[in-house]
Amino acid sequence: MTESTENTLLKTPLNDLHVSLGGRMVEFAGYSMPVQYPSGIVTEHNHTREKAGLYDVSHMGQAWLKGENHEHVSSELEKLVPGDIAALAPGRTRYTQFTNQDGGILDDLMVTRLASSSEDGILYLVVNASRKTEDYQLMSDNLDSSIKLEKIEDRALLALQGPSSEKVVAGLCDGIEETAFMSSQTMMIGGIECWVSRSGYTGEDGFEISVKADEATALAEKLLAHEDVMACGLGARDSLRLEAGLCLYENDIDETTSPIEAGLIWSISKRRRAEGGFPGAARVQSEIANGVSRKRVGIKPDGRAPARAGTEITGVDGAVIGTLTSGGFGPSIEGPISMGYVPTEYSEAGTKLNLLVRGKALPATVTALPFIPNNFKR
Amino acid sequence: MSVKYTEDHEWVSIDGDVATFGITDHAQEQLGELVFVELPDVGSQVEKGGEAAVVESVKAASDVYAPVSGEVTETNEALSSEPTKVNEEPETGGWLVKIKMSDQSELDGMLDADAYSKLIG
């Protein structure tokens, strides 16, 4: 990273903490972010699976979407996403996607309905850093003028992930044990007001915690003070989500891939499948009825060599059938893992393929996702 | 036997007309924990500056260039099951390749230990 680009990068409220902890800072979506700390990606990854890792995800976009009541705001947002926002209960969080007219994916996001009845009609959105400008524009252009979109720019977002997360937070606040997976509430953690959602991007139990920017470092330090918590960077976040079979926008899903091809049909309720009413519904409904011609699958190289995003996938006959969208090494798998799109006839687990790595055809096997079982709070 | 360094963060140990090379401690630290090392076939020819090996971390694959031209006479087989040896002993047990040099003048202009330390600051 040259000094000139370093100066133009955005910094999160935790930037000084990253630097003081020895974080290796890299550019990501216009932000200076830690890819790892001195302990290294493999150690950070394994620590998150075994205990807990603390991640700065403040680069992601946080926003309010405000309508007159839940019915109003949910029916408006449903014009842009296939998720069932109307059925979202107070204090619950749901994963969905912004789709385009062709049924491709413009971004994926988390939508939370605020818990208290006094806040009825308010949704809290978390969108990808690399897409937030486009997402906000999309909503401004397409939602009724009675809906107010408010970007939240004075808050940081931290993710505490891993099996010790509940224990760590319980030491700093009351009632965390009772919170359910994909639920959200306002809580005091170590005396700091936080919006806490029991969710994450690692396949582990954990919390995403929104906190005022000027209190973010104090909160991070309180969490890091627990012996089970290690500061972790974007490198470990990426290897954890890949093992968990989760999509990274622009790699595994983009404007050409539909939610059905991407294996995200679980995020579309029966009502939305039947009613449609979101951009590209015709393609999505047709794919549900008639099947898809290609699917996102897990692919495990049989040998030790990792195959990275962009690697060509061939059948055993040598014909190119697709491209890897993510690929690397899974520290918990202790081997290489990848994901990509293949024609449906190649998508059955156990199907043999080849991956063209540096000119060599390396044998690989289609593998069910996730690569490791999820460890969510039941 | 003498050890020289390249600006590509490799060390080269010379014994007669055989050069053993690997990546420096500084290089392994930058790369992070290695998860895979690909080495050339014994008997193959490599050109100075051409791709000779690939070292991969969780995050990325990096090419390692041949510091000299010649024939590959031996590779460090232990790295296929234990790639982290490069992290633990980069300039000893984590060596990568031995090359029978075809042109020893290619060693001219390589850095000595002091010059390399200055390079990495």
Using a CB-CB distance cutoff of 8 angstroms, which residues of chain A are in contact with residue B35? 42, 306, 329, 331, 336
Residue A336 CA to residue B61 CA, distance in Å, equals: 12
For residue B6, the domain's CATH number is 2.40.50.100
Helices (H), chain A: 3-8, 15-20, 41-50, 70-77, 132-142, 165-170, 213-224, 234-243, 270-275, 281-290
Given this model, what pLDDT does residue A5 score? 52
Residue A100 DSSP symbol: -
Given this model, what pLDDT does residue A4 score? 46
Q: Is the peptide bond before A370 cis (omega within 30 degrees of 0)?
A: yes
Given this model, what pLDDT does residue B78 score? 97
Residue B13 CA to residue B84 CA, distance in Å, equals: 21
Whether A307 has a pLDDT exceeding 80, the answer reads yes
Mean pLDDT of the residues in chain A: 96
pLDDT in tens, A14-59: 999 999 999 999 999 999 999 999 999 999 999 999 999 999 999 9
Is any Cβ of chain B less than 8 angstroms from the Cβ of A239? yes
What are φ and ψ of residue A131, in 5° steps? -120, 0
Span A191-217, average pLDDT: 97
Which of A47, A234, A358, A360 best tests the B interface by mutation, with the highest count of B CBs <10 A?
A358
| Among the partner residues B32, B54, B59, nearest to A358 by beta-carbon distance | B54
Q: A238 near B59, Cβ under 8 Å? A: yes
Is any Cβ of chain B less than 8 angstroms from the Cβ of A37? no
Query: Of all residues in chain A, what percent carry a pLDDT higher than 90?
Result: 96
State which residue of chain A sits closest to B58, comparing Cα positions.
A329
Number of domain units in chain B: 1
Using a CB-CB distance cutoff of 8 angstroms, which residues of chain B are in contact with residue A336? 35-36
Given this model, what pLDDT does residue A378 score? 72
Whether A377 has a pLDDT exceeding 90, the answer reads no
Q: Domain residue spans in chain A?
A: 3-57+154-243, 293-367
Which of B59, B80, B82, B87 best tests the A interface by mutation, with the highest count of A CBs <10 A?
B59
Which domain range does residue B23 map to?
Answer: 2-120
Using a CB-CB distance cutoff of 8 angstroms, which residues of chain A are in contact with residue B58? 41-42, 45, 235, 239, 328-329, 331
Q: Which string of DSSP letters, residue by residue, matches B2-40?
A: EEEE-TTSEEEEEETTEEEEEE-HHHHHHH-SEEEEE-P
Whether A1 has a pLDDT exceeding 70, the answer reads no
Largest CA distance in chain A: 62
pLDDT band at A3 (very low <50, low <70, confident <90, very high): very low
The yes/no answer on whether domain A293-367 falls in CATH 2.40.30.110 is: yes
Reported ipTM: the value is 0.91
Same fold, A3-57+154-243 and A293-367: no
| Among the partner residues A235, A305, A358, nearest to B58 by beta-carbon distance | A235
Whether A2 has a pLDDT exceeding 70, the answer reads no
Radius of gyration of chain B (CA): 13
Q: Which string of DSSP letters, residue by residue, matches A205-246?
A: -EEEEEEEHHHHHHHHHHHHTSTTEEE--HHHHHHHHHHTT-
Q: Which CATH class is domain A3-57+154-243?
A: alpha beta
Is any Cβ of chain B less than 8 angstroms from the Cβ of A328? yes
Query: Of all residues in chain B, what percent carry a pLDDT higher than 90?
Result: 96
Q: A123 near A64, Cβ under 8 Å? A: yes
pLDDT in tens, B22-33: 999 999 999 999
CA-closest candidate to residue A23, choices A46, A44, A5: A44
| Among the partner residues B36, B54, B58, nearest to A41 by beta-carbon distance | B58
